[in-house]
């Protein structure tokens, strides 16, 4: 059914659009979080390096505290290595997330293309429905017009049949009158031949009045 297909395409389009927006918001949020974390670690690394430089200056300035300072330096270097390692891991994670984000963007573009295709299919289906509706109205009008013409033809045929029946009846009456006239003529000829009488006086006959009512085919 075109109407069911139209509704299904519309729901599918809305669902794809919603999923696309949610995916974009999620990826943007994750990217911002990792960028903030990397910035924080970088700031901490810079602070640690600055602290290490200060400690080294203290070593130069305070030879008597060399052992303590060396211990602090070792601890700071270990902290630097740990922070640097953490930073490297965060950078790798960021690269991985960035790659995933790019893949999601590519998938989002595919979804956009799919949404556009579905919207075009939806528009085509709506146009087809409008065309089918117009064509159906045209068929209905043609059918009503043909039915009206058929009823008119049936009435004309009925009137023609009645007229034909009337003509047949008149023809039969005329044939009967003609046969009667012919018979009367024969009778008159026989009477003239047998008796030799005056037909006009003894048997008055007016064929002209009879012929006025005849109808020949």
Q: Is 51 exposed, middle or buried (0-12, 13-18, 19+ CB in 10 A)?
A: middle
Closest CA to 83 of 112, 55, 47: 47
pLDDT greater at residue 60 or residue 22: 22
Classify domain 2-150 by CATH number: 1.10.287
- How many other CB atoms sit within 10 Å of the CB of residue 10? 15
Residue 213 has pLDDT above 70, yes or no: no
pTM of the model: 0.34
The confidence score (pLDDT) of residue 63 equals 66
Ranges of each domain in the chain: 2-150
129-138, 139-148, 170-179: which is most confident = 170-179
């Amino acid at each position: 059914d075109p109407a069911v297909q139209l509704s299904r395409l519309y729901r599918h389009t809305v669902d794809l659009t919603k999923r696309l927006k949610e995916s974009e918001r999620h990826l943007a949020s994750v990217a911002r979080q990792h960028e903030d974390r990397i910035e924080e670690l970088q700031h901490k690394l810079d602070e640690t390096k600055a602290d290490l430089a200060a400690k080294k200056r203290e070593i130069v300035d305070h030879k008597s505290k060399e052992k303590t300072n060396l211990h602090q330096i070792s601890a700071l270097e270990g902290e630097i290595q740990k922070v640097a390692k953490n930073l490297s891991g965060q950078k790798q994670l960021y690269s991985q997330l960035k790659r995933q984000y790019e893949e999601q963007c590519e998938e989002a573009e595919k979804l956009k293309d799919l949404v556009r295709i579905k919207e075009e299919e939806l528009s085509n289906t709506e146009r087809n429905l409008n065309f089918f509706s117009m064509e159906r109205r045209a068929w209905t009008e043609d059918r009503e017009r043909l039915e009206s013409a058929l009823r008119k033809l049936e009435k004309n045929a009925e009137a023609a049949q009645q007229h034909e029946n009337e003509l047949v009846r008149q023809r039969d009456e005329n044939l009967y009158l003609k046969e009667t006239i012919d018979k009367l003529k024969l009778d008159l000829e026989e009477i003239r031949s047998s008796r030799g009488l005056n037909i006009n006086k003894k048997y008055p006959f007016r064929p002209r009045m009879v012929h006025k009512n005849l109808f020949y085919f």
